[in-house]
Structure 1
Amino acid sequence: MQSCSSPKTEPVSDKFEITDSLISRLLVDTVAQANNTTLLTFSAKITADEERKAEIFPMVSGTVQNVAVRSGDRVTKGQTLARVISAEMAGYDKEAISSSAELSNAERNLAQAKELYNSGLSSARELKEAQNDFLIKQAEDKRAQATLKLNGGNNNGIYTIKSPLNGVVIEKNVTSSMQLRPDNDNSLFTIADLSNVWA
């Protein structure tokens, strides 16, 4: 006789069993507190410290004769960056040479006036005039030499652009044969000390 019953099934075990192949790959370790480091990522812009950066503009007009550095080059304070042939510098040179010659002439005249005065052949007034002329020529020569030096000249009509600090050329906006004007809004070079930067 047949009854309406379902076949008996084995009860399902909730136990987890480790097989031999799993045991061979199993690693056992002691639980310990790990050194947990959190890595944070930020977006930033790296810039040079404004206190350690110099933008160099032309002091005179002229034509760039040669450029001695490129972007990325390390430079030292006083190093030549470029040379410019300049009519303005030639004018400063002429003034410096002329004032030196006038000073030498005034110095000779003063020495001669002293000799004549000491010999009794000229008056104290003539000696005083020679002394005053010498002082005036000396002041004019100092001014002309200072103007020449301030503008980076050296008695040959060449304006030498030099680095004002130790650092790296981070920007270069000048090429050989380029015409320069002193009212140019763009710097020729930007030099920065990159030993400390801002982020």
Structure 2
Amino acid sequence: MDKKQKLAIAAILIVTALAAGAITLGGKSGSDEHGDHGKEDTHAEHKEAGHKENDDDHAAGKSAKAGDAHGDDEHDAHDEGERIAFSAEQMRVAGIVLADAGLSDMTGTLPLPGEIRFDADRTAHVVPRVAGVVEAAPVRLGQAVKKGQLLAIIDSGAISDLRSEAQNAQQRLALARDGYAREKKLWEEKISAEQDYLQARAALREAEIAARNAAQKLAALGAGGDGSSGAFQIRAPFDGVVVEKHIALGEMVKEDTAVFTLSDLSQVWAEIDVPASALDAVRVGAAATVKASALSSSASGKVAYVGALLGEQTRTAKAHVVLPNPGGAWRPGMFVTVEVAAGAARQVLAVPDDAVHTVENRSVVFTAAEGGFIAQPVKTGRSQDGRTEILSGLEPGQRYAARNAFLVKAELGKASAEHAH
């Protein structure tokens, strides 16, 4: 290769290098311009997005504030809904008495399962005492009867025989009296012998004994001496209720058939099973409170009996509490819980039983508020001596409706009805 060719090749390489550099510089310049423009666009978009986010945040803030205000309004409305308006004049007219919640002495209690049963001392299984056919049974099942009231009439052959015997005995007695009087007069006048007089006197004594025996047989059955009739009247032995009736017209009954069960339901027994471990606490005379899930109220009584023997299967002793039952609310067969007082007394927060009411399946006490009352939910404990323990929901010293609180509940129900309408 000569010198000219070398120079030509070098020139071509220089031109090519210069052209490549120009292309590189041009592309870079274009990229910078496009990049700056892209940066400006991105900044603009970011700025616009920022403004948009600020606007959204501002709107959300307004919405949140509106929501908070709405929530406050609802809360206030809810509070207002719970408040029962009552003026001082209304409370005075209604006789509503306010009191401050305070402490009361209550003894410890031992809860035991139990069942309401008839008072066995005031329950009778009435039997005819004579066999016969039923002529009448005027009383109905569940009817309240008075002592001596007619329950049924039975036609009995045995009663007919006894009455005939009594009637004959009376007739023989009358004849014996006449014979004795005659023989006595003749003996006094020395007309007849003394032996005749003594025989007449002995006959009189025998007639008197026979008549007395016949009358006693009728009296023992409660039949009386109504001629030769066989009608036997069954009468109530005391005031009570006919709780069972096993007799019908025309039926033949035996002398030992329990035709009626009569019970005085003015008081009943709450029978409990006392485990051996609790016998030291459950004693005769101990105060007890009886509660039933079927009833909203409770009753107080005293333990009247504690059995001395333990059951072979249950290993418990029987005991019962005597309960007054004037309204018949405690029905035999009802399951109950008997809380027997046990242990030393202690002070607890308590209110009168009449101050606690049930609203929407919750126990409440109507506490005093400005312009009326609020139905304050509370958790109750045991009841004793007309007072109910408050476990939570009420503070000592807090004022509440202690008397005639049911009128506040009535006003609450009226307001709820109007609101629903």
| Residue of structure 2 aligned with 1:158, choices 228, 231, 242 | 231
Shift of 1:143: 0.8
Amino acid at match of 1:177: G
User: How far apart in 2 are the matches of 1:180 and 1:122?
Assistant: 56
Counterpart of 2:119 in structure 1 is 49
Question: TM-score, structure 1 length as denominator?
Answer: 0.80
**Aligned-partner SS, 2:153:** strand
User: How far apart in 2 are the matches of 1:57 and 1:63?
Assistant: 13
Report which of the two structures shows the higher radius of gyration computed on alpha carbons.
2
Mapping of residues 119-134 of structure 1, within 5 Å: 119-134=189-204
Counterpart of 1:192 in structure 2 is 263
Counterpart of 1:174 in structure 2 is 247
Counterpart of 1:39 in structure 2 is none
User: How far apart in 2 are the matches of 1:180 and 1:127?
Assistant: 50
| Residue of structure 2 aligned with 1:99, choices 151, 169, 172 | 169
Counterpart of 1:24 in structure 2 is 73
User: How far apart in 1 are the matches of 2:201 and 2:192?
Assistant: 14
Counterpart of 2:308 in structure 1 is none
| Residue of structure 1 aligned with 2:214, choices 144, 153, 159 | 144
Shift of 1:149: 2.1
User: How far apart in 2 are the matches of 1:183 and 1:82?
Assistant: 15
Amino acid at match of 1:152: G
Q: Where does the alignment leave 5 or more consecutive residues of structure 1 unmatched?
A: 36-41
After TM superposition, the runs of 4+ consecutive aligned structure 1 residues lying more than 4 A away are 7-11
Counterpart of 1:75 in structure 2 is 145
Higher strand share: 2
Question: TM-score, structure 2 length as denominator?
Answer: 0.40
Shift of 1:183: 4.5
Amino acid at match of 2:248: T
Q: Where does the alignment leave 5 or more consecutive residues of structure 2 unmatched?
A: 1-37, 43-48, 81-99, 103-111, 271-421
User: How far apart in 2 are the matches of 1:43 and 1:178?
Assistant: 42
**Identity level (%):** 26
**Aligned-partner SS, 2:233:** strand
User: How far apart in 2 are the matches of 1:124 and 1:76?
Assistant: 57
User: May I ask how many residue pairs the two structures share in their alignment?
Assistant: 184
User: How far apart in 1 are the matches of 2:114 and 2:133?
Assistant: 39
User: How far apart in 1 are the matches of 2:145 and 2:200?
Assistant: 49
**Aligned-partner SS, 1:19:** helix
User: How far apart in 2 are the matches of 1:170 and 1:183?
Assistant: 18
| Residue of structure 1 aligned with 2:133, choices 63, 76, 81 | 63
**Aligned-partner SS, 2:134:** strand
User: How far apart in 1 are the matches of 2:209 and 2:175?
Assistant: 14
Deviations 1:11-69 (A, max 9, x none): 9x9xx96622222232369xxx989xxxxxx9854321000011011211110000021
Counterpart of 1:38 in structure 2 is none
User: How far apart in 2 are the matches of 1:135 and 1:149?
Assistant: 21
**Aligned-partner SS, 1:64:** strand
**Aligned-partner SS, 2:154:** strand
Deviations 1:74-98 (A, max 9, x none): 1111111000111111100110100
